């Protein structure tokens, strides 16, 4: 299992206000279109959806739901009703906040061996009073020029980062809007269609292992 940072090492956001209708059904359709691209590059094979509930005037509730979707299409018109059917009984006015699409993806080690990793990338779609947007986040070091220990990893970077870059560029095309890099964190930053290069001192990048977990 790869070490996973508690905060993203890179994220990209697409503003959907001008390209998609607001609402749950529309977000699921967009999620389906994005998942086709991510699955093409074996970055995310959707397995489940997670979301929080909120109420107007109250904000986010301390209630979350999860729905396993298996081979079910995210574009299935009945899926939105399935999510709404999970509404907590004590909150009949509760609405769905952001939808997190979860599943596994593939990465390649320095020997070219292929491995599957749960939540290799995460896809979040949100539609509310503020607007509609999608966000793709990564939390592992296989996309960077150095691992979390600061050791350069040119082979791992060369066999993984190009797939992520290609997927991000194709998502721009599919959505009809360019991604904006998310805010940097202690664990890394998005730059273009990849992660920004770390500062190299005496041949090593920063050691982030005190802030990562397996």
Q: What are the φ/ψ torsions at residue 113 (nearest 5 degrees)?
A: -75, 140
- pTM for the model: 0.93
Q: Distance from CA of residue 140 to its chain's centroid?
A: 12
Residue where the block lists tokens 């749950």: 24
| Cα dihedral across residues 203, 204, 205, 206: positive or negative | negative
* 86-122 tens-digit pLDDT: 998 888 889 898 999 999 999 999 999 999 999 999 9
CB 156 within 8 A of CB 109: yes
Instruction: Say what percent of the chain tops pLDDT 70.
Output: 98
Distance CA 139, CA 35 (A): 18
pLDDT exceeds cutoff 80 at 202: yes
77: Cβ contacts below 8 Å, ≥ 6 apart: 25
């Amino acid at each position: 299992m790869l070490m996973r940072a508690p905060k993203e090492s890179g994220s990209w956001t697409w503003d959907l206000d001008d390209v998609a209708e607001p609402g749950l059904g529309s977000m699921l359709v967009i999620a389906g279109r994005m998942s086709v691209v991510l699955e093409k590059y074996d970055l995310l094979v959707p397995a489940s959806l997670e979301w929080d509930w909120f109420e107007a005037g109250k904000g986010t509730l301390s209630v979350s739901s999860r729905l396993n979707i298996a081979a079910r299409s995210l574009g299935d018109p009945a899926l939105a009703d399935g999510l709404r059917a999970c509404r907590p009984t004590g909150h009949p006015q509760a609405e769905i906040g952001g939808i997190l699409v979860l599943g596994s993806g593939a990465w390649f080690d320095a020997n070219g061996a292929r491995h599957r990793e749960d939540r290799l990338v995460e896809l979040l779609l949100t539609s509310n009073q503020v607007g509609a947007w999608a966000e793709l986040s990564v939390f592992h070091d296989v996309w960077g020029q150095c691992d979390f220990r600061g050791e350069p990893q040119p082979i791992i970077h060369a066999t993984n980062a190009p797939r992520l870059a290609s997927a991000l560029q194709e998502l721009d095309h599919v959505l009809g809007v360019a991604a904006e890099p998310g805010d940097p964190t202690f664990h890394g930053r998005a730059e273009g269609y990849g992660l920004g290069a770390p500062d190299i001192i005496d041949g090593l990048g920063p050691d982030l292992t005190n802030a990562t977990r397996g």
